[in-house]
Amino acid sequence: MPRNVPEQAIKAMLSREEALFTQRNPTSKQLSEDAARNWLKGVPMHWMVDWGTPFPLFVAKAQGVDVTDADGHHYIDFCLGDTGAMFGHSPPAVVDALQREGANGFTTMMPSPDAAVVGKLLEDRFGLPCWQVTATASDANRAVIKWCRAITGRSKILVFNHCYHGAVDETYVTIDGGTPHADPALIGEVRNLTRFTKVVEFNDIPALEKALAEKDVACVLAEPIMTNVGMVLADDGYHTALRESTRKHGTLLVIDETHCMSSGPGGYTREYGLEPDAMVLGKPIAGGIPAAVYGFTQDVTDRIRKFLETRTPGHSGIGTTLSGSKIQLALMRAVLENYFTEEAFGPLVALAKRLEKGIADVIIKHGVAWHVVRVGARVEFMCTPDRPRNGGEAARVIHRPIDEAVHHYLLNRGVIVTPFHNMMLICPATTEAHVNQLVGGLDRCLTELMG
């Protein structure tokens, strides 16, 4: 019978590891205190304190999977900027392109010769013919929602409970408690978001069908698997049902691949044969510099062109000055040509399988009520015995002290996993020795916790 980790052991480990973190990192502590004079919460972006450590760990250098903090400690990074550095920190092809193109101008408000090449590469890799560039996946999701509303004449969108699509306010609607309402953590939102957003649980086909049957939903915005509340996989047949239902009710299907690009060189969509009307790619598409893209099928592109014939001239509300810049296109070309290939992904997936098995073996060895899941080069373990089928179930079993204790233990021993949940990525710089160090660290952590 799988066992739970004793609460007292978790508390003891957390207390000890927090003290050890403080002892190990005096420079980061001082930097945190200095930065607090000018930065909200002492960091350039407020969620940088969400690692749960007594103060932020300040990073001096990151290359490949090697991270060096301000106190000179070295780490193996499996978080990789929560997918932003999916191909490693400062991947060589991106560094070469940046050095080569940096002297030729960053942004001009005009297209560069790379535009035609990158457009063709995006079509070849991800299957959609028409694309646009933004600065972030959040911007891309906002833009796609507007285009879908414009060409369908519908005002509502549908998302899944506990989804994550970046800083898109309309997606922060939950049905926790039974009634749709805005996430209470959302800052400064004054609209009633439920007027324009429907929310159902992932994998719930009857709820999806009921929500779309009113034919007032412009688009469903979905990750192919949920990735920000643990990793929630689609049931067998769910994507087929999702596609059939959206088509039946005249609703466009948008797949946000920002995290799932780690599934393969064409993302989860190509790997599993999905047929979205639109797609969003963010974070790693330009090697970690601010860039994202969104693409459409030919049918949707034709509808957009027809809509534009009727549009009043003026500000569209889509696009920013730095979107589509010369440097973005140059770095996207480097990433697409060098890393979004079968040859590059093969070793990543093979090593991710080894990591998955290593964690599974540790779970079995200690008899703990945990499980591990993998999609492509992305691996995640959850401290619960059963895989959640939707965001509501997943939200109830993550972000607990046990996760924080494991994160602290590994961090103090030179291994970084994603702080918001237990996600790990394999990149070209990851080696079998790195995987063994993570698995061994988790094994020793559980040895201590289980006595």
* pLDDT for residue 105: 96
* pLDDT for residue 352: 98
Instruction: Report d(CA 21, CA 415) in Å as an integer.
Output: 13
Instruction: Report d(CA 323, CA 16) in Å as an integer.
Output: 46
* pLDDT for residue 155: 98
Instruction: Report d(CA 156, CA 436) in Å as an integer.
Output: 48
Q: Kind and range of the H or E element at 415? A: strand 415-416
Vertex 262: Cα angle to 257 and 268 (nearest 5): 50
- Which are the contacts of 14, defined by CB distance < 8 A and separation ≥ 6? 401, 404, 405, 408
* pLDDT for residue 420: 84
| Residue 177 DSSP code | T
Q: Give me the DSSP letters along 98-162.
A: HHHHGGG-S--SS--THHHHHHHHHHHHH--SEEEEESSHHHHHHHHHHHHHHHH---EEEEETT
Beta strands in 229-291 (DSSP E): 252-256, 278-281
* pLDDT for residue 2: 81
Residue the block writes with tokens 């946000």: 256
Q: What is the pLDDT of residues 31-80, one digit of tens each?
A: 999 999 999 999 999 999 999 999 999 999 999 999 999 999 999 999 99
* pLDDT for residue 20: 98
Mean residue pLDDT of the chain comes to 97
Q: Classify each residue of 216-234 as buried b or exposed e, where b means 16 or more C-beta atoms within 10 Å of its C-beta.
A: bbbbbbbbbbbbbbbbbbb
| Residue 233 DSSP code | P
Q: Which residues in the chain show pLDDT less than 70?
A: none
Q: Does residue 4 contact residue 443 with C-beta atoms inside 8 Å? A: no
Q: What is the pTM for the complete model shown? A: 0.97
Q: Which of 267, 332, 326 has the alpha carbon at shortest distance from 118?
A: 332
Work out the widest C-alpha separation in the chain, in whole angstroms: 70
